[in-house]
Amino acid sequence: MIADNITETLFVEISLFSVLLLVFMLYNNVVLYKISMKDKLSLTLISAIIVSVFDGIWHFVEGAGRPVLEYTCAYVYAIGLVFGTSVFAWFTLDRFEIVLKSKKLYGLLFVAPIVLTTLLCLSTPWTNLVYSYDEHGIEYMPLFDYFVAPISFLYMGVSIFLAIYYLVLHRKKRSENISYARNLLIFAVLTVSVIAVQTYVLEIDENYVVISFAWAVGFVFFTTYVNTERFVKSRERIAAVESDLQLAANIQSGALPTVVHAFSKHPELDVFASMTTAKEVGGDFYDFFEIDGTHICFVIADVSGKGVPAALFMMVVKTMIRDHASMKLSTAEIFNDVNRLLCENNAEEMFATAWIGILDTKTKVMKCTNAGHNAVCFAKKDGSFEFLRQRHGVFLAGFDTTQYKESEIQFESGDCLFLYTDGLTEAHNASAELYGEERLLKKLNSIKIRGGEKFLREISDDVNVFSEGTDPFDDLTMMVLKVD
């Protein structure tokens, strides 16, 4: 009696431990490692959980006068065991990159046995295949003895055979599959060891209990290995992407013009610019360069989107504008040509707002064109900053028929021009309030010394204080030009 109680208690503990282990591993698989529930390893874990749960229920209802529940447990156990082992074998084939000749063969080897098991279980009321007693009370389980157990062990045996075959065939190579094969053998040894301990040490003589617990322990080890391997590979891929993004960011920043001593031949020009990206690489850009000895081009632009796609499109736009500006075209003609070329091959339907100005250093007249960009701010020497709301056409890469216009800005000594992207005015705080044009204009007019790095830093600091506690939503690019 005492021995029976100990066995009963041990069984409950083993069953509960099996289920908890498997549920924990499934949780890690789906939540921690972000593996789909449709993944073959997840499906194997789900089947193992079902087998363990119904194994426990079956134990307690067996012989308790509840034949419907008893048969249901037996059905679910049988189907779950065949399903789990078949999916596991399929998973092993995938890992060893073994591809069968046709989908019909996959269906025959992995789906047909599951369907057949289900049909045989449903036939039990007439055939007594799953579970029955004779007149002497002796239990018979022909479906388990002659189909479920053999085919389940066959699936597992095939997986282990493939592991041994792979280790022998590729013993001199180092690959992820070699490690997988070794761990598959460890899984097999661990499972058999658990069965041996339960059978010969703990003297548990219920075969299905022995199998389900051994399966649970083995799968906990095996799933831990597979998920760890997946995690390491994922981290390696992330590290590679991060490295590439850092390289792209360096290339992007290197493509921007140097602001220190930008125009040594024109000491009367004080220009400074800055760009802060929301991600590793951004879609904003600024540019300034000499077209010839007396004409200097200034550009600021904001490409739709963020990240790598925006950065790539930005480089295309920047290069096109430079190339066409070197032809000594007007600002309107530059944007007409660039817009037409961008519209010709723009499958992703990206676009860019942009502003371009070409300054004649002799006359101090700047010809400029605004392609859907934010209004620039201009201030006379002793005056206040004001928005120059000049709209000469829509954004670039929008419509190939757009014809842009241009206007003039007459500079005098001490005048200042401020350019920016919408990452400035659309910066928001924790209350979702925008920084806005009004706040920008107020800040610009409060700064005593106009132009240079300090001027832009004061604006940037004001934006950072305003948006404290929020992550940057967009790239923020600024440029200031002062003519002395």
How far is it, in rounded angstroms, from Cα 448 to Cα 152? 82
> Does the pLDDT at position 265 exceed 80?
yes
| The overall pTM is greater than 0.75 | no
DSSP 401: T
Q: Give the model confidence (pLDDT) of 223-261 as tens digits.
A: 777 777 767 777 767 676 667 666 666 666 666 787 665
> Does the pLDDT at position 382 exceed 50?
yes
Query: pLDDT: is 362 or 72 the higher one?
Result: 362
Say if CB 358 and CB 401 are below 8 A apart: no
Q: How many angstroms separate the Cα of 24 from the Cα of each of 55, 224, 337, 453?
A: 18, 11, 61, 56
Say if CB 301 and CB 353 are below 8 A apart: yes
Which residues touch 225 (CB under 8 Å, ≥6 apart)? 183
Q: What is the pLDDT of residue 62?
A: 64
Say if CB 390 and CB 407 are below 8 A apart: yes
> Does the pLDDT at position 311 exceed 90?
no
**Average of pLDDT values for 36-58?**
79
How does residue 174 score in pLDDT terms, banded at 50, 70 and 90?
low
Domains delineated in the chain = 2-243 (1.20.1070.10), 258-483 (3.60.40.10)
Q: What is the pLDDT of residue 202?
A: 57
Query: pLDDT: is 270 or 167 the higher one?
Result: 270
> Does the pLDDT at position 354 exceed 70?
yes
